């Protein structure tokens, strides 16, 4: 694709401002901001409508492709809030335009920012952006887990190297339900960092490898604890491979809720906690998974769920999307800090999410609130 292919979205933006705000819960306003980049940096060029202005200027030649675009284009957390609101209100899209700007900057050798170029090299050499040894990717895994099966748990880089407690919790839950499953011996990074950096060719190579090893493992359903991995596999692999995936994909919350509904998985131990839930952007807005995590929490004895003001499709991003923690860590912490303040205002004991990246971001922002992944809570309750 080229930027011209998105003209229908670029030229139809009426600058109504709807992409800047989300309505509070309830029948009446006021309204809350949704775009971390716009709120943080203030200038029009950081808001979604401003990105459309940039795209239009580039198409018409009134703006030049240059390094001056880098901060505007790459400071977006890719949370999708603007896209959700604009799509529902007008049928237009903003997210594809932002992504095409990134891809075009890479094609012209202007972007991405240097740290993402290094992440690309790390993925190429180590198959993960953290520069960790590929041979140690499965160090978290119990020895008695197969490498093949009709159900495969794709752990992802963050849970494999940084949030191993989440990966272990997934295994514990699956074993408690007597589910036969496998974990790949040669799992590569899903390609999320490359995709959101604007590297197209690299994602194609990654997708080919991961789909090939999953086919060899006999996968019929692939489970993801990471919404980023889930989103890239489900929504972008078919596009880059030009074929449908030969297996089903599901986030662990979807699958675990299915097991609970079927009576296969039964949370029994009480967890006397008052909690609030943070919707991961790639799980909620990008894939519409809102109810499954909440239904799981309602099935855990003793758990009291209190919603934040901005929830579901109107949730405020944790700051971990779009490679922001790598590129602009201060901005990532500021975004996460805003979410922590909102969580604290509910006067709960614990902030729960369903994403290793969200847990990273929300914990790194500091604060006194306990932050856990939903799978960890479920594992404690069985």
Q: What is the pLDDT of residues 219-272, one digit of tens each?
A: 999 999 999 999 999 999 999 999 999 999 999 999 999 999 999 999 999 999
* Strand partners of residue 309: none
The pLDDT value given to residue 368: 86
- Give the residue-averaged pLDDT of 115-141: 94
**Residue 283 pLDDT > 50, yes or no?**
yes
* Strand partners of residue 32: 22
Fold identical between 3-107 and 266-380?
A: no
List the chain domain ranges.
3-107, 123-258, 266-380
- Give the residue-averaged pLDDT of 202-220: 95
CA distance 221 to 249: 6
CA distance 269 to 324: 38
Say what the pTM is.
Answer: 0.94
Q: What percent of the chain has pLDDT over 90?
A: 83
pLDDT tens digits, 286-304: 999 999 999 999 999 999 9
The pLDDT value given to residue 14: 82
**CATH 3.40.630.30 for the 266-380 domain, yes or no:** no
CATH architecture of the domain with range 3-107: Orthogonal Bundle (1.10)
Higher pLDDT among residues 280 and 203, named by residue: 280
- Give the residue-averaged pLDDT of 131-155: 93
* Strand partners of residue 351: 276, 371
pLDDT band for position 25 (50/70/90)?
low
The pLDDT value given to residue 27: 44
The CA radius of gyration of the chain, in Å to the nearest whole number, is 20
pLDDT tens digits, 42-99: 999 999 999 999 999 999 999 999 999 999 999 999 999 998 888 877 777 888 999 9
Mean of the per-residue pLDDT values for the chain? 93
The pLDDT value given to residue 275: 98
Sign of CA dihedral 310, 312, 313, 316: positive
CATH architecture of the domain with range 123-258: 3-Layer(aba) Sandwich (3.40)
- According to DSSP H, which parts of the chain are helical? 7-10, 36-41, 48-60, 70-74, 81-90, 95-107, 114-126, 157, 164-176, 192-197, 200-216, 227-231, 237-241, 252-261, 291-298, 324-327, 329-344, 356-364, 374-380
Among 104-108, 144-148, 244-248, 346-350, the minimum mean pLDDT is found in 144-148
């Amino acid at each position: 694709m080229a930027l011209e292919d998105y003209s229908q979205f670029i030229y139809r933006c009426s600058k109504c401002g709807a992409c800047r705000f989300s309505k509070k819960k309830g029948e009446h306003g006021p309204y809350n901001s949704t775009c971390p980049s716009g709120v943080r940096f203030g200038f029009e060029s950081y808001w979604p409508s401003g990105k459309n202005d940039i795209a239009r200027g580039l198409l018409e030649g009134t703006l030049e492709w240059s390094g001056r675009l880098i901060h505007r284009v790459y400071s977006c957390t890719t949370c999708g809030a603007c896209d959700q609101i604009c799509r529902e209100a007008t049928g237009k899209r903003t997210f594809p335009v932002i992504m095409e700007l990134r891809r075009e900057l890479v094609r012209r050798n202007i972007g991405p920012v240097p740290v993402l170029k290094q992440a690309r090299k790390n993925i190429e050499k180590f198959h993960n952006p953290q520069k960790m040894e590929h041979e140690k990717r499965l160090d978290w895994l119990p020895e008695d887990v197969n490498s093949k099966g009709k159900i495969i748990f794709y752990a992802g880089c963050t849970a494999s190297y940084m949030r191993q407690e989440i990966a272990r919790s997934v295994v514990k839950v699956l074993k408690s339900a007597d589910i036969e499953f496998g974990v790949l011996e040669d799992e590569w990074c899903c390609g999320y960092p490359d995709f959101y950096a604007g590297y197209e060719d690299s994602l194609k190579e990654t997708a080919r490898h991961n789909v090939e090893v999953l086919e060899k493992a006999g996968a019929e359903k692939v489970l993801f604890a990471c919404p980023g991995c889930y989103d890239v596999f489900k929504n972008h692999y078919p596009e880059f491979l030009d074929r449908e995936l030969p297996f089903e994909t599901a986030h662990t919350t979807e699958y675990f809720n299915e097991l609970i509904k079927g009576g296969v998985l039964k949370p029994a131990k009480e967890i006397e906690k008052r909690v609030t839930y943070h919707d991961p952007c790639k799980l909620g807005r990008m894939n519409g998974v809102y109810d499954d995590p909440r239904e799981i929490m309602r099935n855990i004895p003793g758990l009291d769920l209190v919603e934040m003001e901005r929830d579901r499709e109107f949730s405020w991003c944790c700051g971990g999307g779009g490679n922001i923690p790598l590129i602009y860590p201060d901005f990532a912490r500021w975004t996460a800090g805003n979410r922590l303040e909102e969580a604290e205002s509910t006067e709960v004991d614990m902030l729960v999410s369903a994403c290793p990246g969200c847990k990273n971001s929300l914990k790194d922002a500091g604060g006194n609130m306990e932050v856990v992944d939903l799978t960890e809570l479920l594992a404690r309750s069985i």
